[in-house]
Amino acid sequence: MALWMGKGQQPQTESEVADLEAIAAIKESAAIELKEKGNEYVKLGKKHYPDAIDCYTRAINQKALSDPDTSVLYSNRAHVNLLLGNYRRALTDAQEAIRLSPASVKAFYRAAKASFALNLLSEAKSYCEAGIEKDPDNVNLMKLENEIDSKILEDKRRDREVSNAVNSAKGLVSAIEDRKLKIGKAMYQELTGLKKPTLDKNNILHWPVLLLYAEVMSSDFIEDFCETDMFAAHLNMMFSEGSLPLPWDEQNNYNRDAIELYYEADSGTCLSKGSLLKFFLEGTAGSKADIGNVDETIGEDSSNTPVSSGNGTRRWVKVDEKRALSQVLADPRYVIPGIPVFFVVSKKSDFYKVFKTGRWSPH
C-alpha cells in the first residue's frame, strides 16, 4: 500500500498510484477546509485570532496545495499576525508568501505593513514600490507608501535635530574647556528649569544667570548674560532709580548703592567632560542620543574631585562689578553649579553681618 512507501520511493503499481492520489486529495481537501475555517475565525474577532493562526498553520503543514494557494495561507497568517501585533512573524509569513507567489499584491502590502511597524522603512518602501508596480491603482499601497515617506522625512528631520543638539553640546564643552571653567552639578533647577548657556557664531558664551537674595531666598533671573558684559551694566538696569522696590523689601534696603554680589568658592564637585556633555544635552532633541564613549572621544577631566573650605563655613567671594562675567567665572575657586549663581545681599540689612561670617548656608 502507498501508506507504507518510503520517502522518495516511487509507486510501482496502479493501486499505489491510486492510493497516493487519494491521500493527496484528502490532504488537499483538509487544507482547503482548514483555510476556510481560519477565515471564519478571523471574522469572529480578536478573541479567535489564535484559532485562525492554528488553522492556517495546520493547512500549511498539509503540504497539499499549489505554491500560489499555499502563498495565500502564508499571506492570511501574516494578516492575522499583523492584527495581533506580531510584526516580525507577520513579516516572515509575508516574505514566504511572496516567494511562493511573486504576483501576490496582498503579500507585498502585508510585508510593507509589517516592515513599517518594525521601523524597517527602507524595506517597507521597497515592498510598497514592488506592489504598486504590479497594481498601480492599489489605493491601500499608495496610502501606506505616503505614510512611509512621511515617516522617512520625519526621521531625517529628527536625525538632523539630534545631530545639531549633539554638535551644539560638544561646542559648549569645548568652549568650557578652552576657558578652563569648572562646572559642577546643577543646583536650583526648580527655579531655572533646564536653562543652559549658548555659544554664538563669534564663539562668545551667553549664560543664563540666577540671582538669589540670600536673606529671603527670593530670586531674579537674567536670561542672557553675555560673558563679555560687566556686572554693573545689568545691575544698573535692574536697580535703576525708576525701578520699583522688591515686594518683600519693606525698608528699601536693596537699592543700587547698597547691594553686593557674592559667589561661593571652594564648594562642589567638578563634572567630567562626559557628564558635562550629557548635562548640556538634557532637555534637547539629543537627550537620548547614542553618543558612544564620550570620555574617550572628548577626553576626561582630571579635576572631578570635590573641593571644600573644610572648616564648616562658607567662603563667599565678592563680585567686582566692573569685571566681565567671563573674568569672574574663570576664578579657579568657583565651581559653577550648572549655570552661574550669585547671591545678592544688602549692606544696609542686619542679615549682611550674618552672611559675611560664612555661617549662613543656602542648602
DSSP secondary structure letter of residue 246:
P
Higher pLDDT, 248 or 18: 248
- Cβ atoms 148, 119 nearer than 8 A: no
Strands 306-307 and 268-269: antiparallel
Which alpha helices (DSSP H) does 11-100 contain, by range? 14-44, 49-61, 67-84, 87-100
Entry pTM: 0.73
CATH number of 2-151: 1.25.40.10
- Whether the pLDDT of residue 79 is over 60: the answer is yes
The backbone torsions φ and ψ at residue 218, rounded to the nearest 5 degrees and listed phi first, read: -90, 170
Listed range (148-152, 215-219, 267-271, 315-319) with the worst mean pLDDT = 267-271
Neighbours of 172 (CB within 10 A): 21
Grid-cell match 505593513, residue found: 113
97 half-sphere exposure, CB direction, 13 A CA radius:
29
Grid-cell match 491510486, residue found: 18
In the chain, what percentage of residues exceed pLDDT 90? 78
CATH number of 183-270+305-357: 3.10.20.90
Locate the domains of the chain by residue range. Answer: 2-151, 183-270+305-357
- Give pLDDT tens digits for 140-198: 999 999 999 999 999 999 999 999 999 999 999 999 999 999 999 999 999 999 999 99
Contacts of the segment 205-211: beta carbons below 8 A, 24+ positions apart:
205/172, 205/175, 205/179, 205/326, 207/325, 207/329, 207/339, 207/340, 208/339, 209/325, 209/339, 209/340, 209/341, 209/342, 210/339, 210/340, 210/341, 210/342, 211/261, 211/342, 211/343, 211/344
> Cα–Cα distance between 198 and 231 in angstroms, integer?
19
Strands 259-265 and 341-346: antiparallel
- Whether the pLDDT of residue 295 is over 70: the answer is no
- Give pLDDT tens digits for 250-283: 999 999 999 999 999 988 889 999 999 999 999 9
What b/e sequence results for 85-104 when a residue is b if at least 16 CB atoms lie within 10 Å of its CB, and e otherwise? ebbebbbbbbbbbbebbeeb
Shared fold status for 2-151 and 183-270+305-357 = no
